[in-house]
Structure 1
Amino acid sequence: MSTFTTRPEIRGTFGVVTSTHWIATAVGMSILEKGGNAFDAAAATGFVLQVVEPHLNGPGGDLPVILHDATSGKMEVICGQAPAPAGATIEHYRREGLSLIPGDGLLATVIPGAFDGWMLMLRDHGKLPLRDVLEPAIHYARNGHPMLARVSATIAGLADFFEKEWPTSHATWCPGGKAPATDELFCNPALADTWERLLREAETKSGREAQIEAARDCFYRGFIAEEIAAFVEKTEAMDASGTRHKGVLTADDLANWRATTEPPLTYDYHEWTVAKTGPWGQGPVLLQALALLKGTAIGEVDPVGADFVHLVAEAMKLAYADREAYYSDPAFTDVPMEHLLSDAYNAGRRALIGESASFDLRPGIVPGHEAQVQKAMQVIEGLGTSATGVYEPTMAHLSEKRGDTVHIDVIDRWGNMVSATPSGGWLQSSPIIPALGFCLNSRAQMFLLEEGLPTSLAPGKRPRTTLTPSLALKNGVPTLAFGTPGGDQQDQWQLSLFLRLAHHDLNLQQAIDQPLFHTTHFPASFYPRQRQPGHIMVEESFGKPVLDALRARGHALDVAPAWSIGRLTAARRDPNGLLRAAATPRLMQAYAAGR
């Protein structure tokens, strides 16, 4: 097993920040240097990512956070995943001539949740004034940032569509009528103006918490909400269905929603405890996979060998099959998570992992849910299969036009920890709202337009998001924050990382640099919702013997170039207070910093 690393593991005792863009990471460290804590740093990093990675997230997007507050000793989830608008009914979408919710446009929009999620975290856990947190994002929006090659290519690929169908986006992303070149300084003055006005209005209040509450009101009940509602009401936008539609989001939807907090869902795996969101996100699939793998030899096999890939892929096929049958907003659906994580259930499911690759989608049957599972399988059959890539990750071998996600991990000198996975509202989602400089999200595409399913569209219901940050405790002590962009692949790449750390003497960078893989065996969460039975995409760096052994087991291999899968980042705190951080070299954007 190679211990070669592309870059050093970052180590120190003051603080560490790691994210999917070097500028955002540097901003996070600057906040720690100012005396801010991990919560201030994570939020500042997140707002900068909206500016420098606009093809992956934006102010109109969504946000789950898992955090550990060292002062209170509490771990909690902040749910910045907002629900469907009141007008988002199956009947309405069917009347619009749709059988699937498009992957873009205004009908794909749910209430934007990221801003309120960040504000809730800052109010309850941060230290610095809101201006300190927002000013770095304002700087890069006003004065410019070097355009990433992938953002340039994304805009260039959409320029004709923007000019014809989304003119406000064309005006924003193609200043002077052309897509910005790689490394060209790119500005978004309208977004800078939006945040400056929000700060001015917030600072009419006295005190840090009052200003944060005023900022929340500006976004959801003030001038930002007014601009969003007016734009949606008057705009009929072309979307992936090939026709134009108006959205259903209203000012009342925005005004009546708040981000919430809840305890994380956890699972004990040997000396570790892994914390994830509830089943309104896909995070529990990682816990289910651990429950399946706990009774196997996963800890004894080569972590870059064929046995490892086979066991992890087969466990993920089973866990994701259960995602399709059961996961949903628990406020709307009875999700039997206790049963799905139980020893007895997983003993039976584990027996399904054979020596050969499975090609069938096999959800388990929980008593009382038989009809629900049967209905889900009928709908999945109707979605069909694909022989090509059907997922959403930012990988070089897939379309530059797909959106995706960013990720942030921060640990400060006091032991506060944040793992956050902002997404949505990317520049491909929907037309720019010109007065604000940002667009809305397309998270409603996770819903299905069929009654009686866990993921059936309903007003006020959270879509089953793919966004899935992670925290882990070792021997009961909060130790590890990690995550990645990548849609449905997020928990697959995170599972490989966690297993390599849990069972092998690797540092963070060594574990991140090892070859990655994932399966698209189950239905995608993204339009057009298809699947590739038996498929595994693997980096060629596993080597020919491993690839041949996987083919011999029947896996339908799709071999990707080395260094092309996944965008993992991770941060760790040792019992003696040593802090560590690492970031993937893949795509040459993510960086860790610390001292």
Structure 2
Amino acid sequence: MARQQAVHELEQGDIDLPETGRPVVRSTKGVISSGHYLTSMAGMRMLLNGGNAFDAIAAAGFAAAVIEPIASYSLAAEGVFMLYDSASEEMLSLSGQGVAPGKATADFYKSQGLDRIPTGPGDKAHLSFTVPGIVEAFISLLERYGSMPIDQVLAPAIDYAENGIPHYEYMLERLKSPSTPQQFDNYPPGGWDVFFDNKQVPQPGAPLVQPGLANTLKAMASAGVSGDRVAGLQAARDVFYKGSVAKTIVDSSAKVGGILSMDDLANYKSQFGEPVSTTFAGHEILGHDSWSQGPMLQQTLNILENFDLKSMGHNSPQYIHTVSEALKLVFGDREAFYADPDFAEVPIDGLLSKEYAAERAQMLDPEGAYPEQRGPGDPWKYSNGRGAVPVAASPAPTINGTSGNGASDSSSHEGTTHVSVLDDQGNMVCGTISGGAFAKSVFFPELGCALSTRIEMFNCEEGHPNVVEPGKRPRTTLINYLARKDGQPVMTVGCPGGDNQAQANVQLVLNVLVFGMDPQQAVEAPRFASQSVVNSFYPHTYLPGRLDLEPGIPESTADALRAMGHDIDRAANCGLGATVSARDPRTGYLSTGGDPRRACYAIGL
């Protein structure tokens, strides 16, 4: 009788709630995950029409510029990609990070009375305009690995921009930020007429139509050459980087005092490159070189190999302490050594050596938190190159946790999204795309978007690896990763969040490889992030000793961390929009998930 009752109750509902708020999305044909359901659908339309993962990520990325303009990024901004092409078996990094304009030198900014490159909120944002990189990257990706013509790839984005999408809560919350209207007023007319309703925040579900952006997208699509896919892609690139769109970008920049030129755009090229890697838990973890903060993850994993993380327990006080202290050590190296290797000698072999990691691991106090930003180690000892450890001045703490100039509003730092696509041909690609935040940049209605301000991540210190130089990539926060096991690609990993990106990605990898979580469990698990480093974004806030915890980490854990010397603060999120996508090497089956911290959505074919 009891057994019959149990069966009867199961017909009414489950005995237990699922472990995650959303399901793992599984498929045999293809999966996509992104920062918004309409972004994911734009990519899925390519898969449904016979396209591959590269067609899908480009369509989703162009669409995200329409759907997530304040929640993610601008069409005139940047992105970075990790990819595996099954036909060629190439596993590569792709940099769509924009570069400094030809007039952007340390002397130029010093002549303006500046020691760092400013952004908004404020009236000097135009000095941080960066050469747009994302369009060139998408077109290069499509040329090399795609299968669909540019007009077909752009069709969902044009539809969303021209015919409109419903306003949604995540974006509307960011429109409520006081910094956004302030910046629109600093550079009128801004986006008042596009994103607001008589200067009021619209209601959820109200239409959002973007005619300027639609015109920009249509200019590229109409350049397509019938019957010649590659010629159409080249024509679309020329429109954006040499033709009518380029002229609109340069004229818009010039009218507010910006320093972008037609030559800056015409000379820009995205870059395919060999990833850097390390091994951890039986996997090879591959990511971007030192032009990004990407090697932080490999460095941190190398340090953490020296500790028994699993026995500590997931998100226990000892675990959080150990991981965050390892990250502090690596932040010290990031600030001293990371830079565009085309312009600076970076000891990447030393930074990623296991011997160097073992040396650094000995500095980690298992019982006490280091109270400030860590200094760098000496990776040159383990490098085939030659160089010296720079002498860095101690950073000044930010007063009361704010910058004093209104830029403490975190919404200005959340301008990033992530897309991951796996298809049934064996292709895997993920992209972290960003830039052009309304509060930091200038919105140009005629262009339909804001320009990137990513060169704010340079410094003006002569001799420093990351000093601003024309044509150079700033040491970007944008990163993502691929993992392979026994030579086979098995996973993509990415998470937006500025300086929290590397920290969140470390936790995602540990969640999967140490604690055996599935893609959805890995992204839903509560995260933490150290703020004990000078922030990459202007005005470069520094909060020595602070460790942010998400609400899901219990107060008893917070108390134990305080006892170790951590300055604990609660944060709504420590990286948001995370994605783990996996391919089972035994069956070829695909899986992914969607981060509930924002409007992320995963779809299976």
* TM-score when normalising by structure 1: 0.92
For residue 87 of structure 1, what is the aligned residue in structure 2? Answer: 103
For residue 379 of structure 2, what is the aligned residue in structure 1? Answer: 366
- Are the equivalent residues in 2 in contact too, given 1:159–1:178 (CA < 8 A)? no
- Are the equivalent residues in 2 in contact too, given 1:403–1:428 (CA < 8 A)? no
For residue 573 of structure 1, what is the aligned residue in structure 2? Answer: 583
After superposition, give the CA deviation of every residue in 1:116-138 in whole Å (9 maximum; x if it has no partner).
00000011001111111101011
- Are the equivalent residues in 2 in contact too, given 1:372–1:453 (CA < 8 A)? no
Amino acid in the other structure paired with 1:216: R
For residue 443 of structure 1, what is the aligned residue in structure 2? Answer: 454
- Are the equivalent residues in 1 in contact too, given 2:496–2:578 (CA < 8 A)? yes
Deviation at 1:493, TM superposition (A): 0.7
- Are the equivalent residues in 2 in contact too, given 1:172–1:432 (CA < 8 A)? no
For residue 192 of structure 1, what is the aligned residue in structure 2? Answer: 214
Which of 19, 29, 36 aligns to 1:14? It is: 29
Pair 1:453 & 2:469 matched: no
Amino acid in the other structure paired with 1:121: L
Deviation at 1:211, TM superposition (A): 0.4
Looking at structure 2, the residues matched to 217 and 558 of structure 1 have their Cα atoms a distance apart, in angstroms, of 48
* CA distance 1:144–1:334, shift in 2 (3 Å): same
For residue 116 of structure 1, what is the aligned residue in structure 2? Answer: 136
Deviation at 1:402, TM superposition (A): 4.1
Deviation at 1:89, TM superposition (A): 1.1
1:478-493, aligned counterparts within 5 Å?
478-493=489-504
Deviation at 1:372, TM superposition (A): 5.8
Amino acid in the other structure paired with 1:106: H
Looking at structure 1, the residues matched to 480 and 574 of structure 2 have their Cα atoms a distance apart, in angstroms, of 21
For residue 422 of structure 2, what is the aligned residue in structure 1? Answer: 411
Looking at structure 1, the residues matched to 197 and 285 of structure 2 have their Cα atoms a distance apart, in angstroms, of 46
Describe the SS at the equivalent of 2:430: strand
Describe the SS at the equivalent of 2:51: coil
Moved more, 225-234 or 173-182: 173-182
For residue 114 of structure 2, what is the aligned residue in structure 1? Answer: 98
Looking at structure 1, the residues matched to 280 and 186 of structure 2 have their Cα atoms a distance apart, in angstroms, of 53
Amino acid in the other structure paired with 1:31: M
For residue 249 of structure 1, what is the aligned residue in structure 2? Answer: 260
Describe the SS at the equivalent of 2:355: helix
- Are the equivalent residues in 1 in contact too, given 2:74–2:450 (CA < 8 A)? yes
Moved more, 461-470 or 434-443: 434-443
Deviation at 1:171, TM superposition (A): 3.4
Looking at structure 1, the residues matched to 219 and 380 of structure 2 have their Cα atoms a distance apart, in angstroms, of 54
Describe the SS at the equivalent of 2:356: helix
- Are the equivalent residues in 2 in contact too, given 1:265–1:278 (CA < 8 A)? yes
Specify every segment of 5 or more residues in structure 2 that has no aligned partner in the other structure, as ranges: 1-16
- Percent identity of equivalent pairs: 35
Which of 277, 295, 303 aligns to 2:288? It is: 277
Deviation at 1:488, TM superposition (A): 0.7
Deviation at 1:382, TM superposition (A): 4.7
Deviation at 1:113, TM superposition (A): 0.2
For residue 594 of structure 1, what is the aligned residue in structure 2? Answer: 604
Describe the SS at the equivalent of 1:198: helix
Which of 62, 69, 87 aligns to 1:71? It is: 87
1:16-35, aligned counterparts within 5 Å?
16-35=31-50
Pair 1:526 & 2:548 matched: no
After superposition, give the CA deviation of every residue in 1:276-326 in whole Å (9 maximum; x if it has no partner).
110000000000001101121123321121122111101100111100010
For residue 239 of structure 1, what is the aligned residue in structure 2? Answer: none
* CA distance 1:177–1:287, shift in 2 (3 Å): same
For residue 213 of structure 1, what is the aligned residue in structure 2? Answer: 234
Describe the SS at the equivalent of 1:586: coil
Looking at structure 1, the residues matched to 580 and 270 of structure 2 have their Cα atoms a distance apart, in angstroms, of 25
For residue 53 of structure 2, what is the aligned residue in structure 1? Answer: 38
Pair 1:322 & 2:333 matched: yes
* CA distance 1:200–1:98, shift in 2 (3 Å): same
Describe the SS at the equivalent of 1:196: helix
After superposition, give the CA deviation of every residue in 1:204-242 in whole Å (9 maximum; x if it has no partner).
x6400110011111111111111111122222xxxxxxx
C-alpha RMSD of matched pairs (Å): 2.1
Amino acid in the other structure paired with 1:24: T
Amino acid in the other structure paired with 2:159: H
**Paired residue total:** 573
Deviation at 1:199, TM superposition (A): 1.5
Looking at structure 2, the residues matched to 387 and 482 of structure 1 have their Cα atoms a distance apart, in angstroms, of 34
Describe the SS at the equivalent of 1:273: strand
Looking at structure 1, the residues matched to 312 and 395 of structure 2 have their Cα atoms a distance apart, in angstroms, of 38
For residue 229 of structure 1, what is the aligned residue in structure 2? Answer: 250
Looking at structure 2, the residues matched to 193 and 165 of structure 1 have their Cα atoms a distance apart, in angstroms, of 22
After superposition, give the CA deviation of every residue in 1:247-271 in whole Å (9 maximum; x if it has no partner).
1110011111111211111111131
After superposition, give the CA deviation of every residue in 1:470-514 in whole Å (9 maximum; x if it has no partner).
111122210101211100101111111111110123211112221
- Are the equivalent residues in 1 in contact too, given 2:395–2:542 (CA < 8 A)? no
* CA distance 1:465–1:164, shift in 2 (3 Å): closer
Pair 1:52 & 2:67 matched: yes
Pair 1:142 & 2:142 matched: no
* CA distance 1:382–1:23, shift in 2 (3 Å): same
Looking at structure 1, the residues matched to 395 and 582 of structure 2 have their Cα atoms a distance apart, in angstroms, of 44
Deviation at 1:429, TM superposition (A): 3.6
After superposition, give the CA deviation of every residue in 1:165-213 in whole Å (9 maximum; x if it has no partner).
331433333354444333311010111112112211233x640011001
Deviation at 1:29, TM superposition (A): 1.6
Moved more, 432-441 or 574-583: 432-441
- Are the equivalent residues in 1 in contact too, given 2:412–2:440 (CA < 8 A)? no
Looking at structure 2, the residues matched to 450 and 572 of structure 1 have their Cα atoms a distance apart, in angstroms, of 42
For residue 310 of structure 2, what is the aligned residue in structure 1? Answer: 299
Looking at structure 2, the residues matched to 370 and 210 of structure 1 have their Cα atoms a distance apart, in angstroms, of 45
Amino acid in the other structure paired with 1:570: V
For residue 8 of structure 2, what is the aligned residue in structure 1? Answer: none
Describe the SS at the equivalent of 1:27: helix
Deviation at 1:96, TM superposition (A): 1.5
Looking at structure 2, the residues matched to 529 and 279 of structure 1 have their Cα atoms a distance apart, in angstroms, of 20
1:421-570, aligned counterparts within 5 Å?
421-561=432-572, 566-570=576-580
Amino acid in the other structure paired with 2:434: S
Describe the SS at the equivalent of 2:185: helix
Looking at structure 1, the residues matched to 148 and 535 of structure 2 have their Cα atoms a distance apart, in angstroms, of 40
